[in-house]
Structure 1
Amino acid sequence: MSSPLISRPFVRVLKKPAVGLLTLAVAVALQPGAALARQTETAAAHTPPPSIAERYAAADTFLGSGIADLIDNANIAPSFVGEGKDAGLFYRTGNRSHQRYLFLDLATRQVREVATTATLLAALTQASGKTVTLDDARLADVDYDPAKGTLAFEALDGHWRIGADGKAEKLPPEAPRLDLPSPDGKTKIVARAYNLYAVDVASGREVALTTDGTHEQPYGRSIPELSQILREGTEEPAMPVSGAWSPDGRYLLTWRLDTREVKKLSITQQNPPGSFYPRSFSYVYPLAGAEKLPQATRFVVDVQAALKSGKAKVVPIQMPPESILYPSPPDMNWVDGKPRMQWTERGYRQQAVYVADPATGATKIVAHEAVKPVITVTSSMIFPAPELGGELSISERSGWAQLYLVTPDNPDGGKALTTGDWEVLSVDHVAEDKASLIVTGVGREAARNPYWRALYRVSLNGGLTELTPEPLDHEAEVSPDGKWIVDQMSSPTTPSRAVLRDGTTGKIVMELAKADDSRLLAAGYTPPEPFKGVAADGKTPIYGMIYRPVHFDPKRSYPVIDNVYTGPTTTDVPSTWGMALRVPGNSIAQIGAVVVMIDGTGTSRRGQAFRLPAFQNLGEVGLDDHIALIRQMAAKYPYMDVNRVGVFGGSAGGYDTARFVLRRPDFFKVGVSASGNHDLRLDKTWWPEVSMGEADAATWERNSNMAVASQLKGHLLLVHGDIDDNVPITESFRLAKALIDAGRDVDMVVVPNATHNVYQPFFWKKLRDYFTLYLLGETPPPLGPVKPAAPAVALAH
């Protein structure tokens, strides 16, 4: 669980096995599932089981960036660049070690090489005066400007640019801009002592726009995130002015924060870099269990009038104050010359879009959404479409996330642009003639996996055309003018194929790249197997994935480890070839286990009815579905030992991990919970409330892991970063205390100077050790040689 959009940690993996397994691995890749068991039986009989040290070495090899070095064209990272005659597609082929950066001229369909990994490293070596290796460089975010012929990229912890002459130069770091310049640059807004001032750039003359700002009620200042506080070492870090100029540079739309009576969190960083002493901070973090949340009130100021008269008039926007559900500014934009603001009621009971008169503050609701029991904002959204005369709304009012055109005269209704028992995920383009648009959806084609994406052209006059007919998942990018689509199609068992399509018809006009996993298979990789079964109700189809180790022997018995993440905000099981490679199950299976991933009921992309079991029930949803599907897997593959089942996950998956071990202790014997939000009331407001609404105390308590701590029978490891800026570490401390108070055992690791992302080498070693000890019943290998410590840094006293 991350903020505000979900982003789960996926790990890239790789393995190099004994030579004797190479032929076997290729055969396995071509015949997954039951055929895999038959193909491996003979070879495994001649292959002695690897030692635990060898299995750990395999797990290390499958963890990190290694798999990227054995796969070509896994992700071409396409981006449409340039305009007019310079418009084209910038993409890459090859792999991390041998990347080619290419430019496709869309007018001529000619492709030319812009750079390679080797040329980038050579340019960095020349510029820095020392040899720069691939690992040293840490190349990232490579971009191309076809008009100037320049490359921009990240490397060596800095920003770099390579000109047309091929020489690299390091760009000076950009100082964060704290003021807010007008569109014409003639005026800027600055913040000082919690108030806002307008400054005429030419003369330096300034006028106070507000005068009564305070620490708890500042103007144009958002809530600082913990990462900002830690980076600057102060509870009041410098922050940019929060607001939006009108396009003509006359008005400023901004807001006032109110944190009065809001309870704060505190954090102590025990090992701050460069300091001998710990440091502690208090900070505002809106929590789901808080009685009082920070509030935002919006207003408009006629800045140009203020500069002329020397006196500002604050015009309140006539809309309700809005609860801040995460440390970020409220929605503020200008559409057709007027302020447009989306407002969300706490508990996600309703959302409304207000349009205001900037001179008077008078407002009108132009779009409104109220779906019971809650609006699931990860599956629905409202966004402006002035070219179509209103707002586009992806709404679940029919029970499925469908697209509507909502007009100001009917904010609660609108015209249904799509219908049916499937979900629209996004609107990717609106045609220039306003007659159609392109959307991405899932689940419309009955014969396909319901999680596979497809692109459709939707006519505003009715009718829908599929643009990506191949029965695969389509990860697509539409050009700004809508004329082209880059489509990377794949499935978990079908390597990616990247093509250029005609944006109108969807016809493939050019092959761009095909993924090549031959070296990966030759290195012994065992492909995952998709698995379809039914939920605990015995009838609802659900989907999973099975990962096996390279040294797989169907005659042996394997413990099962469930990589878990439930809940209505996302799905867990990979739907693409690239995702299937990046999950940590590839590495963890190598210790000698079968790792599974499962999307039970209560998760997303399958309609409201499929997701509703999660409402106010995060502590139980999907739990028995996971058990049911694991038993179905084991019925097909008896080498899966359902008497030795473990579970691990991070963030919301960390919550699930503890919950599974606590609520079904006779099935889930061992768990490793990372960064878990064990009491939802102590998490950021938006994530629990989109699943729970504004629940009562008894409901929150029922879903708390602390409430079921006494049910622990097996082994539970809690891992948390001491400066977690997403899920406060207090959640793991409170669960540890609840377990101790209940007379239960608990293991806990606090990772120093780690944020929400604790997925460092130490974490993976600790996770393997825990499952090796308590699930495999073996002794982990000893630690390797200790690397020399860095030179000591003298500390000031």
Structure 2
Amino acid sequence: MVRQAMMVAALLMAAPAVSAATPEDYKRSLGLREAQMYLTENVVDQAAWAPDGGAFHYRKTVPGGFQFVTVQPATMAKQPAFDQARIATAIGKLTGQTYQPLRLPFASFRYGAGNQSISFTAAGTRYSCNLTSYTCAEPAAAPGRPRAFGITRDMSVPADNTARTSPDGRWQAYTLDSNLMLREVATGAVRLITRNGSDGNFYDPETIAWAPDSSRFAAYRVVPGYQRQVYRVQSSPPGGEIKAKLITQLYPLPGDTVDLERPVVVDVASGAATEVVSSLFANPYSMSPIKWRADSGSFSFAYNQRGHAVYRLVSVDGRTGKASAAVEEKSDTFFYAPRHSYHDVSNLGREIVWMSERDGWNHLYLIDGKTGRTKKQITRGDWVVREIVKVDDEKRQIWFAANGRRKGSDPYLQHYYRVNFDGTNLVELTSADAFHDVAFSPDMQFYVDTYSRNNMATVSELRRGDGSLVSVIERGDITKLVAAGWQAPENFVAKGRDGRTDIWGVIVRPRDFDPAKKYPVIENIYGAGWDQFVPKKFWPFGFHAGGDEVVGMQSLADLGFIVVQIDGMGTLHRSKAFHDHTWKNAGDGGAPDRILWHKAAAQKYAYYDIDRVGLYGGSAGGQNTLNNLLFYPEFYKAGVSYNGCHDNRLDKVTWNEQWSGWPVDESYSKASSVDNAWRLKGNVLLVIGELDMNVDPVASMQVVDALIKANKTFEMLNVPNGDHGVGRTDGPMDYVLARQYDFFIRHLQGVQPPNWNAITDATPPAAR
């Protein structure tokens, strides 16, 4: 702490000869999040209900931090969810860290049985704390064989071969030497069910699923995928270790062979094992866990075909093993399975509530589960269903979240609705023009509606199932925040490349903004297809690499920039055609739409310097950053790329085959920052975390190699021990973010940043 205080004092005293920003400006910008984050009161997170529905809880801001609150809906009585001081002490004993009671290292939790314990995740680790003794423990890791990115089993780890007991308790199924076994519990008698299992074609015990009547069970037989290993070198291990360490990771790439699963159904009485004919699922990218129907007559699984253009709900007759397609989706581009959901009505396979974009917008359909034909399109229109929240099979009603249905409003604002199976009686349950997060009680008699906008603090209300208001729970107070200089971003809309579609974004100006000046512009970019990214809710203080939350954009703007963020075509929650711009087009990132948006802003605002535009982003946003410099050099002049997935052939199979397809073709090279590095005309800073376990740092290093071969100049910062988030805050400031500031001040303002090396630290580091 003394060393850091001395460094900060030196920063404040030093004044570089030529600079638009002083060390004091840096200190103010880098400290903005901490300075403003604790100035609000009663700004809440989404609520969560106890399993028995007797109470709900949430986190809210209070002076100096956050408080967890539990509410009894019958009386609206509020009380602390637990003793935060004791929890802080208990977690500290377990982790060796010190935590303030109002700044616990988690934002949400779940109550255990009888509300006598809580569980939560902090720094990627799951913890459980007893609320009587106030002791915390890290639960033992669940047994089982992990799958790299959820796709390829790690064959170096044994599978969990715990015997799976039948619902009636009479039988146990497990494996021995890769074959299925069946044990009678009462007698201990064992039967060998299969004899053809092997290491390279085994029956997976973790996939065993029993029919409700215990007459049969099913499991997947698996041919394991390619065990590709990638490597990280930890150059500077913490704790004084001098020698580097090698870290190995199972990391399947696009085009690699993935696990091949084949369902097998076993009849307990006869011991016969029937392998299901695979014609309907011959080339799987993934197959969901086996799920038996309530009558034990059949089971189902979802099949996502390699290439993501075919998706089926496959139904299998439990007696014969005959497979049929209960529902099928086909696309000329891609089917986005991570957003998809469905509901098997009464779990009988006769009717399926199904989500589909088959009419160009994501909607709900009622499907005949026997024929696959559409019985009814439940919702329709130029708007998007986001989530099936609840289905009541007896009342034949569906609760769901959607956006874009309100004409004249921001199309990304989420609302909640209820509708009948036949599409009648569509009821909007949320009324305020805002983004709503709703938590329904288990019996659906009440719900907590928490809503806000990026320019409006949160309001939380308890409502009855019919939508009528019970009570306002909390109303966010941002008086002190506004007094401290906080200002909401401006929501700005312009037409996209087709001249018709609205493209939404935000503009953040310096807090000392002078409209008579001309400001360079920096775009915070993330143009990937898995979501939309412009902030819609009120919480400007989340933290990510590059400072891409609102307060991070404000911090950068305060150094003399206009900072913007835009959802171009190719991002989620609009039409299917809007989303399809991502397909085999990773080099685009919505750039034509975003450039038009910039030009519209410059036409409206004289201070908006369209000739000095830069950008920054991380991960896919890092790829977008560099690709925009490569493919649109006439517009973008400088960029900071954090851990970019610069060549989709070098990045994980899951993400990249979703957008670029399978097999690997020329579209991968077309979008590659490596293959197109020779195009660079602007200035780039490549920031790499050497321990990034999400995006292999090799992608960035191959960009470096290509730039050198093309005789291009560039800047690079390889961060020891940096992960996907990259940042380093173990010095007197956030080192990586400060280097981003330096870069943009040099290349967009045309002046030199502070001369940090002239500010010396008189205290040498401790010897290793």
TM range (shorter): 0.7 to 0.9
Q: Which residue of 1 aligns with 2:731?
A: none
- Give runs of aligned pairs for residues 551-566 of structure 1, distance below 5 A: 551-566=512-527
Equivalents in 2 of 1:699, 1:192: separation in Å?
Answer: 45
Other-structure match for 1:298: 263
Which residue number corresponds to residue 258 of structure 1? 223
Using the size of structure 2 for normalisation, the TM-score is 0.83
Which one-letter code corresponds to 2:105 in the other structure?
R
Of 129, 144, 162, which aligns to 2:111?
144
From the superposition, tell whether residues 319 and 463 of structure 1 become closer, same or farther in structure 2 (CA, over 3 Å): farther
Contact 2:254 2:664 in 1 (8 A): no
Which residue pairs with 2:351 in the alignment?
390
Corresponding residue of 2:740: 767
Q: Measured at CA, do residues 323 and 96 of structure 1 come closer, stay the same or move farther in structure 2, by a change above 3 Å?
A: farther
Q: SS where residue 625 of structure 1 aligns?
A: helix
Cα distance in 1, alignment partners of residues 212 and 599 from structure 2: 60
Question: What is the CA deviation profile of residues 130-157 of structure 1, one whole-angstrom value per residue up to 9, with x for unaligned ones?
Answer: 9853499535543335835544556797
Per the alignment, residue 752 of structure 2 pairs with: 778
Seen in structure 2, the aligned counterparts of structure 1 residues 714 and 215 have a Cα distance that, compared at 3 Å, is farther
Deviation at 1:601, TM superposition (A): 2.0
Distance verdict in 2 for CA 1:50–1:666, change over 3 Å: closer
Contact 1:550 1:590 in 2 (8 A): yes
What are the within-5 Å matches in structure 2 for residues 317-396 of structure 1?
Answer: 317-320=276-279, 321=281, 325=285, 330-336=288-294, 337=296, 338-386=298-346, 389-396=350-357
Distance in structure 2 (CA, Å) of the matches to 1:727 and 1:141: 27
Q: How does 1:282-681 map to 2 (within 5 A)?
A: 284-290=250-256, 292-301=257-266, 314-320=273-279, 321=281, 325=285, 330-336=288-294, 337=296, 338-386=298-346, 389-431=350-392, 433-461=394-422, 462-503=424-465, 505-578=466-539, 582-583=549-550, 584-681=552-649
> Per-residue displacement from partner, 1:607-650 (whole Å, max 9, x unpaired)?
12223333322212521221221122223222222222111111
- The 1-side partners of 2:122 and 2:536 are apart by 31
For residues 720-744 of structure 1, the C-alpha deviation after alignment (integer angstroms, 9 at most, x for no partner) is: 3334333222221222222222221
Whole-angstrom CA distance in 2 between matches of 1:288 and 1:507: 51
Report deviation, 1:324: 5.8
How many angstroms does 1:540 deviate by? 2.5
Q: Secondary structure, in 3 states, of the residue corresponding to 1:670?
A: strand
- Cα distance in 1 between the residues matched to 2:386 and 2:369: 24
SS class of match (1:597): strand
Query: Shift of residue 498 of structure 1?
Result: 0.8
Which of 39, 43, 54 does residue 74 from structure 1 map onto?
43
- Say which is worse superposed, 551-560 or 564-573, in terms of deviation: 551-560
Opposite residue 231 of structure 2, the aligned amino acid is I
* Closer, same or farther: CA 140–622 of 1 in aligned 2, 3 Å: closer
Kindly state the Cα deviation for residue 403 of structure 1 after the two structures are TM-superposed.
0.4
Over 3 Å counting, the alpha-carbon distance change for 1:129 and 1:197 in structure 2 is same
Structure 1, residues 295-353: CA drift from partner, whole Å, max 9, x if none?
Answer: 22222345x66xxx9xx654323334565647xx7433233233211001122221111
The residue correspondences of 1:19-418 to structure 2 (distance < 5 A) are 51-63=21-33, 67-83=36-52, 87-95=54-62, 97-115=64-82, 117-118=84-85, 120-121=87-88, 133-134=100-101, 138-139=105-106, 141-144=108-111, 147-152=114-119, 159-164=127-132, 167-171=133-137, 173-178=139-144, 179=160, 180=162, 181-182=164-165, 214-220=198-204, 241-248=206-213, 251-259=216-224, 262=226, 264-271=228-235, 278=244, 280=246, 284-290=250-256, 292-301=257-266, 314-320=273-279, 321=281, 325=285, 330-336=288-294, 337=296, 338-386=298-346, 389-418=350-379
Deviation, 1:701, is 2.1
CA contact (8 A) 1:437 1:457 kept: yes
Identity of matched residues, %: 28
Distance in structure 2 (CA, Å) of the matches to 1:175 and 1:201: 28
Contact kept? 2:300, 2:315, Cα under 8 Å: yes
Structure-1 separation of matches of 2:174 and 2:720: 37
* Unaligned stretches of 5+ residues in structure 2: 1-18, 145-159, 543-548, 729-733
Output the CA distance in 1 between the equivalents of 2:227 and 2:377: 44
What is the alpha-carbon distance in structure 2 between the residues aligned to residue 591 and residue 322 of structure 1? 57
* 1:8-23 equivalent positions in 2, closer than 5 A: none
| Gap regions ≥5 residues in structure 1 | 1-48, 222-240, 793-797
Decide whether the 8 Å contact of 1:422 with 1:443 is kept in 2: yes
Q: Distance in 2 between matches of 1:139 and 1:602?
A: 32
* Correspondence 1:737 to 2:711: no
In structure 2, do the counterparts of structure 1 residues 697 and 365 end up closer, same or farther at CA, with 3 Å as the change threshold? closer
1:454/1:474 contact within 8 Å kept: yes
- Change in Cα spacing, 1:536 to 1:373, as seen in structure 2 (3 Å) is closer
Contact 1:182 1:249 (8 Å CA) reproduced:
no
SS at the partner of 1:410? coil
Please give the per-residue CA displacement for 1:345-389, whole angstroms capped at 9, x wherever unaligned.
122221111122334422222111123332233554444333684
The Cα shift of 1:123 comes to: 6.9
1:334 partner letter: W
Q: 1:50–1:551: 8 Å Cα contact kept in structure 2? A: no
Deviations 1:404-426 (A, max 9, x none): 01122331434111111111111
Is contact 1:99-1:117 (8 Å) kept? no
Q: Which amino acid aligns with 1:559?
A: P
1:219·1:257 contact (CA, 8 Å) conserved in 2? yes
Residue pair 1:669, 1:715 contacting (<8 A) in 2 also:
yes
Aligned 8 A contact 1:269 1:280 in 2: yes
Match of 1:719 in 2: 687
The 8 Å contact of residues 379 and 401 in structure 1, kept in 2 or not, is answered as no
Distance in 2, Cα, partners of 1:332 & 1:597: 42
- CA 1:572/1:790 → structure 2, altered by over 3 Å: closer, same or farther? farther
Task: Return the alpha-carbon distance in structure 2 between the equivalents of residues 645 and 511 of structure 1.
Answer: 44
Which residue number corresponds to residue 545 of structure 2? Answer: none
Per the TM alignment, residue 250 of structure 1 is displaced from its structure 2 partner at its CA by 5.8
The Cα shift of 1:789 comes to 6.1
Stretch moving more, 418-427 or 408-417:
408-417
Change (3 A) 1:318 1:560: same
Q: 1:429 to 1:521 in 2, by over 3 A?
A: same
Aligned to 1:28: none
CA 1:373–1:92 in structure 2 vs 1: closer, same or farther (change >3 Å)? closer
State the shift of 1:449 in Å.
Answer: 0.6
Measured in 1, the distance between the counterparts of 2:94 and 2:308 equals 53
SS at match of 2:325: strand
8 Å CA contact retained: 1:100, 1:115: no
Cα deviations across residues 428-453 of structure 1 (Å, max 9, x unaligned)? 11236333111111111112111111
